[in-house]
């Protein structure tokens, strides 16, 4: 469970998020949780986005999915990379999330399940080797039997991010249960009121790198593996989508990630992940808007700047 997300949800429920008190509390919270950011990890939690595009069109999306062309991650690259991570971790990780975009749009989705489980053992009593797919759930009902069988065989948990859209969660849970697959929902209540955060990008890169890293709730909580490199968050991974759509030039370099093939051991990767990266200068977390109502993206640059 991501306790930082849970705490933010509790704050929003009981405190006026536009008040000065909330802003001061938020600042204090960021600095207190920075202790966690700079502490060396013991086990790896990481994310692989196997698509950049999505069938929803959410405003403020951190992955810039409303702006993305169709993109599916190469299965062979994934296989090579997770095998390398398995070598570095002796096959023992805490969590791997297969995400997007919308991962159910990938035509070879179940191959990722087979590869991931082949690399990482499952130890439920010790909470090791958890592999799950994060989806908006809209495509689940049309999945073939082979999908559910693969989830069951590989101990893949399905996690639905619940949006204010028409979706028969009970029917999906019934289907998952029939196949012996665990399915849970984020933000599950009788009335779905999905709230969003709006990351503000400073296109000129004028932010204090250390301060941005401390304030960022993605850093170290949203570690991304992409094309042989590990990133402390997913924004630099997907910034090309933003740049291409709006003709911008926000720069992500090799210094924003670590090459998993050049790292001598997993501790070298952990040391890298607990430090700010040059890309942090583009993230204006001081002016980020929180607790915004979910809405459809208008694909305007002001959603992200």
**According to the model, what pLDDT value does residue 2 have?**
47
What percent of the chain clears pLDDT 70, i.e. is strictly above it?
Answer: 84
pTM (predicted TM-score)? 0.86
199 vs 183 pLDDT, higher one: 183
* pLDDT at 170 > cutoff 80: yes
pLDDT digits (tens, 9 = 90+) for 222-281: 899 999 999 999 999 999 999 999 999 999 999 999 999 999 999 999 999 989 999 999
**Residue 173: which CATH number?**
3.20.20
Which pLDDT band holds residue 65 (cuts at 50, 70, 90)?
very high
The two three-digit tokens of residue 297, written as one number: 């993206």
Paired residues of 96 in beta bridges = 46, 131
Mean pLDDT of the chain: 89
39 vs 298 pLDDT, higher one: 298
Domains in the chain, number: 1
Paired residues of 131 in beta bridges = 96, 156
**According to the model, what pLDDT value does residue 1 have?**
47
Rounded average pLDDT over 90-97: 94
**According to the model, what pLDDT value does residue 87 have?**
96
CA dist 80 to 7, 101, 109, 261, Å?
A: 36, 22, 16, 10
pLDDT digits (tens, 9 = 90+) for 17-32: 556 666 666 666 655 6
**According to the model, what pLDDT value does residue 291 have?**
80
pLDDT digits (tens, 9 = 90+) for 279-300: 999 999 888 887 888 999 999 9
- Angle at which helix 266-273 crosses helix 75-89, to 10 degrees, equals 100
**According to the model, what pLDDT value does residue 8 have?**
55
Place of tokens 């999908």: 147
Burial classification of residue 91, based on how many CB atoms lie within 10 Å of its CB (0-12 exposed, 13-18 middle, 19 or more buried) = middle
Domain residue limits at 253: 3-303
Which pLDDT band holds residue 200 (cuts at 50, 70, 90)?
very high
Per residue, what are the HEC states of the chain? CCHHHHHHHHHHHHCCCCCHHHHHHHHHHHHHHHHHHHCCCCCCEEEEECECCCCCCECCCCCCHHHCCCCECCHHHHHHHHHHHHHHHCCCCCEEEEECCCHHHCCCHHHHHHHHHHHCCCEHHHCECEEEEEECCCCHHHCCHHHHHHHHHCCEEEEEECCCCCCCHHHHHHHHHHCCCCEEEECCCCCCCCEEEECCECCCCCCCHHHHHHHCCCCCCCCEEECCEEECCCHHHHHHHHHHHHCCCCCCCHHHCEECCCCCCHHHHHHHHCCCCHHHHHECHHHCEEEEECCECCCCHHHCC
**According to the model, what pLDDT value does residue 127 have?**
77
pLDDT digits (tens, 9 = 90+) for 232-241: 999 999 999 9
Please confirm whether the linkage preceding 101 is cis (ω < 30° from 0): yes
Burial 270-300 (b: 16+ CB within 10 A, else e): bebbbebbebbbbbbbeebebbeebeebeee
């Amino acid at each position: 469970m991501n306790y930082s997300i849970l705490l933010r949800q509790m704050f929003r429920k009981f405190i006026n998020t536009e008040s000065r008190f909330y802003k001061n509390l938020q600042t204090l919270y960021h600095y207190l949780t920075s202790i966690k950011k700079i502490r060396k990890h013991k086990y790896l939690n990481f994310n692989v986005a196997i698509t950049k595009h999505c069938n929803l069109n959410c405003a403020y999306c951190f992955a810039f999915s409303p702006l993305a062309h169709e993109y599916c991650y190469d299965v062979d690259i994934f296989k090579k990379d997770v095998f390398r991570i398995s070598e570095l971790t002796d096959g023992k990780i805490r969590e791997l999330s297969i995400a997007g975009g919308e991962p159910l749009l990938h035509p070879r989705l179940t191959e990722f399940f087979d590869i991931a489980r082949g690399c990482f053992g499952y130890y439920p009593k010790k909470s090791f080797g958890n592999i799950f797919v994060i989806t908006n759930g809209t495509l689940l009902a049309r999945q073939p039997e082979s999908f559910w069988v693969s989830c069951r065989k590989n101990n893949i948990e399905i996690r639905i991010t619940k949006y204010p859209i028409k979706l028969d969660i009970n029917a999906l849970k019934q289907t998952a249960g029939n196949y012996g697959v665990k399915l849970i929902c984020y933000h599950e209540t009788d009335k779905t009121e999905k709230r969003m955060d709006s990351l503000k990008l400073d296109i000129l890169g004028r932010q204090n790198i250390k301060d941005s890293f401390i304030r960022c709730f993605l850093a170290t909580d949203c570690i991304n593996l992409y094309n042989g490199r590990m990133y402390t968050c997913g924004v630099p991974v997907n910034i090309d989508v933003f740049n291409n759509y709006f003709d911008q030039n926000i720069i992500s370099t090799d210094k924003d990630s670590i090459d998993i093939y050049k790292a001598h051991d997993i501790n070298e990767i952990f040391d890298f992940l607990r430090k700010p990266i040059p890309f942090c200068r583009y993230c204006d977390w001081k002016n980020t808007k929180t607790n915004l109502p979910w809405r459809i993206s208008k694909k305007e640059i002001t959603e992200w700047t």
